[in-house]
Structure 1
Amino acid sequence: MTQNIDKDLQRFKQIVRGKVRGNLRKYITHGEMLGRKGREVVSIPVPNIEIPHFRHGKKGSGGSGQGEGEVGQSLGPGEPEEGTGEAGNEAGRHIREVEVPLEELAAMLGEELVLPNIIPKGAETLVSQKDRYNSVRQVGPDSLRHFKRTYKKALKRQIATGQYNPSKPMVVPNRDDTVYKSWTTISEPQANAVILYLMDISGSMGEEQKEIVRTTAFWINAWISSQYNGLQKRYIVHDAMAHEVDEETFFRIRESGGTRISSAYGKAIQVLEQSYPVEDWNIYIFQFSDGDNWGDDNRECLNMLKDKLLPVCNLFCYGQVESPYGSGEYVRELMGLEDSWNNVALSLIEDKQGIYECIKDFLGTGK
């Protein structure tokens, strides 16, 4: 009975996962799970799943059916057509919250967008220390007592000395029989990554534009986290001046004034030089803007990219979010970099439907 229940549960989970996979593009573009995430799982709303079943008519209400019938025709007699009949008293269909591990969600994203796995750099230079219990010793605390080996050793001793009675089996370990788990500390290569998010918060970037950035960043984090042992995220906002902020502030702050993109690049350079040596870290920069920039600042931006940022980045991505108030000119300044730098990816995001292609433009490079 238990095995049948387990099989049914596994089958139901497969159906649910299939439902999530089938609607993944909708979740990507609309961000329906945002705000429902924990540290390791995400709650995704999916419609209730109807399992096919027979519906029996009333007792004695008819005989066997005759003829070919039509697709979808009811097997029961006299059932009212949809939308007719008296008011019902049953509950309607509800939305079910399904918890999906972030790792599994990232795998779905990779399959949906056909994303290549990332090959990290620096895997041999960052080292983490881990303790593994792979041996035993004669002394140790009771919490590390190895019961199986202790009783096996006691059994061997009793058999060798003739103390073991098969008809009345009893194994009593003594102090010499007791062994304890022991560990060795090993060093393992660890590939770490850092993401720098840069966003224009001038008056032309409205709430809709920020929601697009927030949704895109969620999926970027999910995929890159699945590719590295450790991931850190830093957030930089700017108008004419740049500031480093926390994640919540990054998506909520709004200011007005001019736009000077070079200020964000300067802050990014400062963060990297202080905390993330290029030989040890895989560095990703994702910049979002509506394309406005102070005219004389474009040349300074290109120089900072070529001299300081692009040489140290695994990937530099610029997403230009459509805004009725932005000029959209800055992406043209960056187009020439794609020909000379293979770690540059650009994407134009007209609305929420453009998030899907933006993620593919950014992460499809496999950098």
Structure 2
Amino acid sequence: MSLPIERDVRRFRQIVRGKVRENLKRYVSHGEMLGRKGKDVVSIPVPSLDVPRFRFGDNSGGVGQGEGEEGESIGQGQGQGGQGAGGEAGAEHYTEVDVPLEELAALLAEELELPNIEPRGKAAIQAAKAKYNSVRSTGPESLRHNKRTYLKALQREISTGGYNPTRPNIIPVKGDKRYRSWTSVDEPMVNAAVIYVMDVSGSMTDEQKSVVRNAAFWIDAYLKSQYTGLERRYIIHDAVAKEVDEHAFYHTRESGGTRVSSGYRVCAELIEQQLPPAEWNLYVFQFSDGDNWGEDNDRAFTLLGERILPHVNQFAYGQVESPYGSGELLGQIESRFGDKHDNLVCCEIEDRDAIYPAIKTFLGAGR
């Protein structure tokens, strides 16, 4: 039987979940919780949750007593119409609520109707895991099994004739104590790696990188819910490319021209040297404004077609709209590879509001 406080907590969580679901599209589009991300939870602002309560007033006048005219309001609270402090209601108040990343991913999957991913190839790694499946008479107090300890003490009291049913007083002694014990078992641990490739040339602005950041946050959340482990790698490029950490990926200033082949080359080398497809489920997400140096296209498409597409679960190309980019790369990739590789997904991301449908396009195939 659950305690009232437990029912209240469950009810509160259901209300919070409903509020998050109502505002999920706005969270995805505008990234309001990205700066509040912790290790396993995100602090999300939700509208204040007011708990209804009775408010008792002054009933000294009684019902129907005193003078008055028909239609005149009764009771107190008829002010003088002054403009004192607090005369107007404020804007809607918000409360910070911690929501597990796993729950956010589940909400996203429900709202966008995302399928579960079927791992490909031999991407299963055996990992040792402790499984508590037995009880022993020695161990640390932190693993003491209280129920087994009590039962052992009760058996001892009954067997020695010391048990009094009318005044039961069971006090375990050292010999009664029982502790949880474990054995190590091998469990398959399916790993995945996601590689983000972003153009940081002069035509990519801070707004475009913010769109990429929001999309990557939700892609990470969903993939983490599908795999035991998720490795993230980041590549930036203008005319040259390099692997960087997450902070540099989102904060590198724009400069230089654009050679997409440089980003593909670093991505291919990363897969070949550190993330062999036989051991990893691989996802590549490329973000660009569609610009590329014309003479670089053949080199770039050779790398993509021969060293990346055949080895990944999915290659997703998202083209963010920029006032400076040509936007030609999207059509070129689709015409070159669209009919040959079913693991290729492309879409345009015109602005922040387009992030939500873009995520469904990227992840809806369940690869």
Alignment partner of 1:166 is 2:160 = no
The 1:178/1:334 distance shift into structure 2, 3 A limit, reads same
Mark the CA change 1:151 to 1:63 in structure 2 (over 3 Å): closer, same or farther.
Answer: closer
- Find the counterpart in structure 2 of residue 195 from structure 1: 194
Deviation at 1:237, TM superposition (A): 0.2
Query: What is the aligned partner in structure 2 of residue 272 from structure 1?
Result: 271
Is the 1:192–1:231 contact (alpha carbons within 8 Å) kept by the matching residues of 2? Answer: yes
Q: Does the Cα contact within 8 Å between 1:310 and 1:343 map onto a contact in 2?
A: yes
* SS at structure 2 position matched to 1:224: helix
SS in 2 for 1:135: strand
- CA spacing shift, 1:181–1:243, aligned 2, 3 Å: same
For residues 3 and 164 of structure 1, do their structure 2 counterparts lie closer, same or farther at Cα, with a shift above 3 Å needed? closer
Instruction: Confirm or deny: 8 A CA contact 2:123 2:280 kept in the other structure.
Output: no
Partner of 2:355: 355
Distance 2:280 2:294 in 1: 34
Cα shift at 1:148: 4.0
Report the residue type matching 2:15 in the other structure: I
User: Which structure 2 residues correspond to residues 111-126 of structure 1 after superposition, within 5 A?
Assistant: 111-121=110-120, 125-126=124-125
TM superposition shift of 1:146:
4.5
Match of 2:90 among 89, 92, 97: 92
Q: SS of the residue aligned with 2:37?
A: coil
Amino acid at match of 1:340: K
CA contact (8 A) 1:196 1:235 kept: yes
Cα distance in 2 for residues equivalent to 1:103 and 1:176: 43
Deviations 1:3-22 (A, max 9, x none): 55554444343223212111
Q: CA 1:141/1:20 → structure 2, altered by over 3 Å: closer, same or farther?
A: closer
Q: For residue 192 of structure 1, what is the amino acid of its counterpart? A: N
Alpha-carbon separation, structure 1, partners of 2:143 and 2:57: 64
Structure 1 residues 21-48: Cα deviation after superposition (integer angstroms, max 9, x where no partner): 1111111111111101111111112222
Does structure 2 conserve the Cα–Cα contact (< 8 Å) formed by 1:292 and 1:329?
Answer: yes
Q: Deviating runs (4+, > 6 A) in structure 1?
A: 52-58, 74-80, 172-176
SS of 2:226 mapped into structure 1: coil
Against the structure 1 CA distance between its residues 96 and 125, is the aligned structure 2 distance closer, same or farther, given a 3 Å change threshold? closer
- 1:324 corresponds in structure 2 to 323
Q: Partner of 2:68 in structure 1?
A: none
Describe the shift of the 1:45–1:61 C-alpha distance in structure 2 as closer, same or farther (beyond 3 A).
farther
Quick check: 2:44–2:99 contact (8 Å CA) kept in 1? yes
Q: Is the 8 A contact 2:135 2:179 kept in 1?
A: yes
Distance in structure 1 (CA, Å) of the matches to 2:41 and 2:283: 24
The secondary structure found in structure 1 opposite 2:131 is: strand
Cα distance in 1 for partners of 2:364, 2:187 equals: 28
Distance 1:306 1:323 in 2: 26
**Aligned AA (1:214):** R
Counterpart CA distance in 1 for 2:78 and 2:346 is 58
Q: Is the 8 A contact 1:61 1:77 kept in 2?
A: no
| Preserved CA contact (<8 Å) 2:48 2:94 | yes
Correspondence for 2:16: 16
Per the alignment, in what secondary structure is the counterpart of residue 84 of structure 2? coil
Contact 2:205 2:254 in 1 (8 A): no
Number of residue-to-residue matches in the alignment: 356
* Greater Cα shift, 21-30 or 135-144: 135-144
Structure-1 separation of matches of 2:181 and 2:322:
61
Structure 1 pair 79/249, CA: closer, same or farther in 2 (3 Å)?
farther
How far does residue 139 in structure 1 lie from its aligned partner after superposition?
Answer: 5.0
SS of the residue corresponding to residue 332 of structure 1 reads helix
TM-score of the aligned structures, taking structure 1 as reference length: 0.85
Amino acid at match of 2:309: L
What RMSD, in angstroms, separates the aligned Cα atoms of the two structures?
3.3
TM-score of the superposed pair, with normalisation by structure 2: 0.85
Report the AA paired with residue 329 of structure 2.
Y
| Percentage of pairs with the same residue | 53
Q: What CA deviation, in whole Å up to 9, does each residue of 1:58-111 have, x standing for no partner?
A: 7559869xxxx9xxxx9989868xxx7523337734222222111111111111
Q: Mind listing any 5+ residue stretches in structure 2 that lack a counterpart?
A: 66-70
TM-aligned CA deviation for residue 270 of structure 1: 1.4
Written as runs of structure 1 = structure 2, the 5 A alignment for 1:1-367 is 3-50=3-50, 60=61, 86-89=83-86, 92-93=90-91, 94-121=93-120, 125-138=124-137, 140=139, 144=143, 146=145, 148-157=147-156, 159-160=158-159, 162-166=160-164, 179-336=178-335, 337-367=337-367
Q: Distance in 2 between matches of 1:276 and 1:197?
A: 14
Q: Judging changes above 3 Å, is the alpha-carbon distance between structure 1 residues 325 and 86 closer, same or farther for their aligned structure 2 residues?
A: same
